[in-house]
Amino acid sequence: LYVEDKKMMYVFICPKCGHTRMVSLLRELTCTRCNSAMANCEIDFLDWVDLGLKEREKLIHFYQQADPKDLCFYRPMPFYDHWERGYW
């Protein structure tokens, strides 16, 4: 889902329990299963949808094995997040 080549959906993965969530407006997430901070997955949402189950499991395992300091826990601020930029 894109508007003028801007990402509108983001994939987050919990590095602790492996739970995944797809969101559009939230900048940071807490896992609904274990209350840990969720990492912004670097793969595009449309590419995530095209992945098979085993490929998704491999990516989730990669995030679980990664050093937390190497993960991004915030998504990029898109053009439509006016309240985060102080427009409203």
17 to 38, 60, 84: CA distances (angstroms):
10, 9, 29
pLDDT exceeds cutoff 60 at 83: no
Dihedral of CA 45/63/14/84: which sign?
Answer: negative
CA distance 39 to 37: 7
The amino acid present at 7, given as its one-letter code, is K
Q: What are phi and psi of 50, to 5 degrees?
A: -80, -15
Per-residue pLDDT, 51: 93
Tell me the per-residue pLDDT of 23-79, one tens digit each, with 9 for 90 and over: 887 778 899 999 999 998 888 888 999 999 999 999 999 999 998 888 877 766 555
Predicted model pTM: 0.76
CA distance 9 to 33: 21
